[in-house]
Amino acid sequence: MAVLPALLALGLLEPLASAAAVGHYGPDLTPHVSVFQGTIAGGNNFPGVARPFGVVKLGPDLYDGRSDAYSGYLSTGNFSGFSMMHEQGTGGAPKYGTVSQLPLVGNISQPLSHLTVGRSGADSGSVGYYRATTAQGVSVELSASAHAGIYRYSFPRASPGNNILVDVSHVLPSFRGMGLGQNYEGGSFEIFPDGHYEGHGVYNNGWNEAPDWTIYFCGHFDAPYTTGKVYVGTDESGSVEQPSKSANSSSGSTRVGGLFTFGRPEVISRVGISWISREKACSNVQEEIPRGTRFMSVVEDTKAEWNSKVLSKITTTAGNQTSLSLLYTSLYFMHLIPTNQTGENPGWTSTEPYYQDIFTFWVLQPTAYEEQIRSLIDIWRHDGYLPDARSSNYNGRTQGGSNADNVLADAYVKGVRGAVNWEDGYRAMVKDAEVAPPNDPADPMASDSSTHEGRGALPDWLSLGYITPRFTRAVTRAVEYSCNDFGLYQVASGLEKADDADKYLNRSRNWRNHWNPNATSLGFSGFVVPRDESGFLSTDPVHDTGYWGDPYYEANSWAYSWNSIHDMKHMIDLMGGPERVRDRLDTMFKEGATGSSGILFDPTNEPMFNVPYLYNYVDRQDLSVSRSRQVAKQYYGIGTNGLPGNSDAGAMETWLLWNMIGLYPITGQTTFLIHSPWFESLTIDLGNNKKLHITSTGGDGNGDTDFYVQSLKVNGRKWTKNWLSWNDVFENGGTLEFQLGSTAVNWTNGELPPSPAS
């Protein structure tokens, strides 16, 4: 790991050295990555080109007049542009799709009228490379560096009608009608005497209801065009060519842009972006993709960076091509966001790193992980609160708790230190736990309290120890605030703040105040339910799933009743003991439990991620193995529909990867539940020359059959607990040697994973 920054620099500065670098650092693993995996059927994966954590995510934007294209891509529809900025795998409503180009053949009289062009055949792509063909026969190839992109256009023939359109007003639209569509609010466009163009665009809204934000761009063509025209477009007067070479607009109703017309069939364009200035956008493209750069060298550099920084971190002897593809494709989609915007923070100047967009954190990347934690804390320093789903440099939107607390607690207990200022980190967490954020601006979909940052329902939480229906999402927030407070307990303990630790451990038990022992459903009693000062309110635990304005957000009380894993022992008591808990878990997976083909377990979303593994807490590790394996094999695949739900910045893929590894991490604790690995051998590079080796014998080598654990050695010693700790195998590396077999046996000594709040 220590050598990686040097390799990266080599890749960027000396394009020709990269092929050698790949050879030197191991095999090319990029062919195992399927960039179209999980792109449709709700997965919303981004199939275009990006570097790991790269600011630029260059890909197609599809338009069919009715479907939200969350990451730009749809398998059908017309191209509305090929743009530089995208999210990865989110839902809700699209964000970005900004800074685009679109190739168009013919005479274009109204360039700024939201033009689209049909698609010819399916797009193709691989790590570092994307190709699409328009219905007019233009092939568009894309590649990218961290802050710039390169387009290679091949028009069908030399012709005076080969155009490239730049429409500054271009964004990904939303058709959901929930007030979450993005808006263009003005911009500038200017063509310079040497032929390059510069400008900026201002946009707002989208899923996180962001206020105005600005992005700057700087574009070059590596061939002279015959004409380059600047346009201003309005609905009333249409697109009007400007006499001067620049156009400015401070209004969303006035679009600006340009049309470049080439006689030649081959055109390369290089575009830089920046959150700071036009000048920075120009220096970004000049430094990363200078004039004369061969298109394929950018592709090769991108592949080299993915190999060295990400894919080579896990190696395996597995031979099954499907499983290898699942493994490396998962790793790939886990590393597109957060975006490393260090040096590109428009909000403040700081020596700290700066990351934004949602967090997927991962032990493979100790350097990035430390930078991300520092960035979270720096956002609190300058914006007043830790972020949650920060996008376009705007904190929020917060669905449940202040879950950056969980991320910080997890990093703390897993030993992330380095340059992290943990006293400040803890102060930031205390702000979440003690100071309700101002409700300004109010969220139209939940106007009771802030969804922007922090914990909107804190007044009830502090004064009552539960959350009344005065606040929306009351039950979801209560169980998540409990978990957040447990995170404070963890960090307070580590920093030897004993009084605080007591206080927050106590508060982490307040989920119990929502537990109604008399609420029943499907023969089980005891659920977390809404309540007010006079007592519990009735609910239907199967059907009470809701959204922003409801007591439960995106999952029902069956799901949220499992949430408080830090207090599992007490939860098991409340549920009636281990046998009842096992039955209850079985019921989660029972076909028809909720009606004809209904099943309670929902693999499509985060609230139930833990559920298949909870059998470990009732000493039935074998059932964790079989349930979780069934979920992994049934719901995940390498196809375009290969994800059960929104990738959510790689969260789904992370779940799958842990299933392959044979461990399941409990967020905010040092505990890893043990289940069963897929492969005969898998090695994780933990950085600083530390490695975790996982081997298995007696299985089928692919996790399809014979997956029950018969015995286990940890670091060479017989192991009889169904869990282990961070320090056992991650802190300094280690080995896990599994003996697998076709039948479930009891290989454990009955000792259960910790329940620190019980």
Ligand X SMILES: *[C@@H]1O[C@H](CO)[C@@H](O)[C@H](O)[C@H]1NC(C)=O
- Asked if 526 and 557 touch (Cβ cutoff 8 Å), the reply is no
Q: Of the two residues 246 and 683, which places its CB atom closer to ligand X in the complex?
A: 246
As beta bridge partners, residue 57 has 50
Q: Of the two residues 191 and 555, which places its CB atom closer to ligand X in the complex?
A: 191
- Nearest Cα residue to 588 out of 597, 579, 600: 600
Residue nearest to ligand X (CB): 750
Q: Of the two residues 538 and 746, which places its CB atom closer to ligand X in the complex?
A: 746
Q: Of the two residues 397 and 531, which places its CB atom closer to ligand X in the complex?
A: 531
- Asked if 165 and 257 touch (Cβ cutoff 8 Å), the reply is yes
Cα–Cα distances in angstroms (integers) from residue 124 to residues 244, 322, 369, in the given order: 40, 19, 32
Query: Distance between CA 234 and CA 251 in Å, rounded?
Result: 10
| Main-chain dihedrals φ then ψ at residue 629, nearest 5 degrees | -65, -40
Nearest approach, Cβ of 63 to ligand X (angstroms)?
6
Cα–Cα distances in angstroms (integers) from residue 532 to residues 46, 467, 526, in the given order: 43, 7, 17
As beta bridge partners, residue 708 has 741
Strands 266-274 and 535-536: unpaired
Strands 266-274 and 210-221: antiparallel
Q: Of the two residues 245 and 691, which places its CB atom closer to ligand X in the complex?
A: 245
Q: How many CB atoms lie within 10 A of CB 26?
A: 12
Q: Of the two residues 321 and 697, which places its CB atom closer to ligand X in the complex?
A: 321
Query: Distance between CA 289 and CA 77 in Å, rounded?
Result: 31
Nearest approach, Cβ of 66 to ligand X (angstroms)?
8
Query: Distance between CA 341 and CA 275 in Å, rounded?
Result: 9
DSSP letters along 628-667, please? HHHHHHHH--SSTT-SSS--TTTHHHHHHHHHHHTEEE-T
| Tokens representing residue 542 in the block | 């199967």
Nearest approach, Cβ of 518 to ligand X (angstroms)?
4
| Main-chain dihedrals φ then ψ at residue 96, nearest 5 degrees | 75, -135
Q: Of the two residues 63 and 730, which places its CB atom closer to ligand X in the complex?
A: 63
- Nearest Cα residue to 194 out of 217, 216, 221, 164: 221
Helix (H, G, I), strand (E, B) or coil at 395: coil
Query: Residue 739: which residues within 8 A CB-CB, separation 6 or more?
Result: 696, 697, 698, 709, 710, 711, 712
Query: Distance between CA 736 and CA 712 in Å, rounded?
Result: 7
Query: Distance between CA 471 and CA 530 in Å, rounded?
Result: 10
Nearest approach, Cβ of 49 to ligand X (angstroms)?
17
- Asked if 524 and 590 touch (Cβ cutoff 8 Å), the reply is no
- Nearest Cα residue to 170 out of 282, 65, 256, 270: 256
| Side-chain-side CA neighbours of residue 4 (13 Å) | 23
What residue ranges bind ligand X (CB under 6 A)?
53, 63-65, 78, 106-107, 116, 118, 188, 244, 246-248, 320, 322-323, 340, 342-343, 367-368, 371, 465, 502-503, 506, 517-518, 619-620, 633, 702, 704, 746, 748-750
Q: Of the two residues 452 and 633, which places its CB atom closer to ligand X in the complex?
A: 633
Q: Of the two residues 447 and 506, which places its CB atom closer to ligand X in the complex?
A: 506
Q: Of the two residues 452 and 512, which places its CB atom closer to ligand X in the complex?
A: 512
Q: Of the two residues 516 and 654, which places its CB atom closer to ligand X in the complex?
A: 516
Q: Of the two residues 157 and 447, which places its CB atom closer to ligand X in the complex?
A: 157
Q: Of the two residues 309 and 452, which places its CB atom closer to ligand X in the complex?
A: 309
Q: Which residue has the tokens 């320093």?
A: 381
- Asked if 432 and 497 touch (Cβ cutoff 8 Å), the reply is no
- Asked if 128 and 119 touch (Cβ cutoff 8 Å), the reply is no
- Asked if 19 and 300 touch (Cβ cutoff 8 Å), the reply is yes
Q: Of the two residues 644 and 734, which places its CB atom closer to ligand X in the complex?
A: 644
Nearest approach, Cβ of 64 to ligand X (angstroms)?
5
Strands 690-697 and 734-741: parallel
Q: Of the two residues 630 and 746, which places its CB atom closer to ligand X in the complex?
A: 746
Q: Which residue has the tokens 């607009």?
A: 249
Q: What 8-state DSSP symbol labels residue 484? A: H
Query: Distance between CA 688 and CA 131 in Å, rounded?
Result: 38
- Asked if 643 and 652 touch (Cβ cutoff 8 Å), the reply is yes
